[in-house]
Amino acid sequence: MKTKSILLFIILTMILALLTGCGESTTKNEIKNEIKNDTKSETKNEEQINAVNKQEQHVAGESGSFVKYKNYTYYWKLTANSRTNTALFANYKDTVNSKNNLVKVDENGNEEIVLTDKGSGEIFIVNDKIFLSYATDEYGSKRNIYSTDLNGQNKTEYNQGEMKYIVGDYIICQSENNGDIYRINTKTDETETLKNDANIIGVIDETIYYTENYDYQVATLKIGSITENKDNGIIATFSTSEFKEYMDTPPIEITQFWEENDKINMYIGYRLGTANMLQELFLMTMDKDGKNVQKEEVTDLETISMEDEQTTEGVYFKTVQKNGEYSTNLMYVDEQTKQRKEIMTEEEINEKFNFTSDDEHTTTLYTSSIIDNEIYIVLDYGEHYSAEDIGWRYSYKRAKTMYFKYDIKTEEITEIYEF
């Protein structure tokens, strides 16, 4: 009995040992699998973090007269000599060969000069390069484009033309006299012609829309598009026969172009007279590929005679009537809601900047940019300069130029500088 009991005890002990061993082996394998899975998870997390970091490191290109890029705001700090001192309708032009300071301002308001060189107007910053331009004729119709790095060094010259839009790594440009459409590769500095004898209308979803140069004999506006570097050809047309009172000489043109409700919208009209005023106007809508075109005649005289009422973005002056008196108020279009909102009334402008409103003085908008919750604005204040009047057309002499910004949330006005 003792022998049998001993044998039974030994067998049970061996069985328990085997079971314990299997349990230890299973636990070790589970731990190994958990470690393996955790390592994979950590690797995936690292990949996700790196992907996010790469996205954060990629800063989209920006453009405007005031540009925010990597926490700095860039703009041309002009002087009294940067533009002509007198002009018809206070339309002062850039002076040729005038050098200005390109400055950048940090979030604390500290200013630094990036570059002193010929240049004015729109600033484009893409892939850590600053693209600028300067006037080469006294009429302001010809400009040269160049670029520098963010420190104002490594200057590169490009073609003549005007920078219009940023599409990916490219800046879309219009050559002088509405000649050709071309693009600058901001990484390689190479230029490429996209379309000859065409004029850029706008860019929607990285597709460039253009009109072919107007043909008086055909008297039809031809609208085409370009996707990447492929010309899709003419996708829509508008004939002068649509108008009721059209004479056979003036060209028809697109005065506003925008996207709304996934549709392309544009105002089309023509001008007559020494004041170059719009005579008739149509609203044309279509799909982005040119299908389902609809045309509606605009009969609102205020919209036709006052082109600022067609404005779909940015800052503009609006003439308003109150108690039989007219005033010109500074407005902007809210980027999110597309509602028109008031920045300052004419009376507030005059009081703030010590301007005067009468037939002998005028206040005009030189340039502006909306950046986040701030609107940067430059106003010119001019006095009648009768020596250069042409008939009923008044000439003005610039008396003051005022740079300031408006906080959309607080409605606070902050003066930047004046000359």
Structure tokens at 103: 């400055």
Structure tokens at 333: 């279009």
Whether residue 171 has pLDDT greater than 70: yes
DSSP assignment string, 152-186: S-S-EEEEESEEEEEETTEEEEE-GGG--EEEEET
Query: Are the C-beta atoms of 204 and 227 separated by less than 8 Å?
Result: no
Query: What integer pLDDT is reported at residue 29 of this predicted model?
Result: 45
Contacts of 271 (CB under 8 A, 6+ apart): 250, 253, 277, 278, 279
DSSP assignment string, 335-349: TTT--EEEEE-HHHH
Whether residue 49 has pLDDT greater than 50: no
Burial of 255 from C-beta contacts in 10 A (0-12 / 13-18 / 19+): middle
Q: How far apart are CA 310 and CA 303, in angstroms?
A: 6
pLDDT tens column, 179-230: 899 999 999 999 999 999 999 999 999 999 999 987 777 789 999 999 999 9
The number of beta carbons lying within 10 Å of the beta carbon of residue 394 is: 18
**Per-residue pLDDT averaged across 294-304, rounded?**
92
Helix (H, G, I), strand (E, B) or coil at 306: coil
Confidence of residue 402 (pLDDT cuts 50, 70, 90): very high
Whether residue 35 has pLDDT greater than 80: no
Chain-wide mean pLDDT for the chain? 87
Confidence of residue 178 (pLDDT cuts 50, 70, 90): low
**Per-residue pLDDT averaged across 304-333, rounded?**
89
44 vs 418, more confident: 418
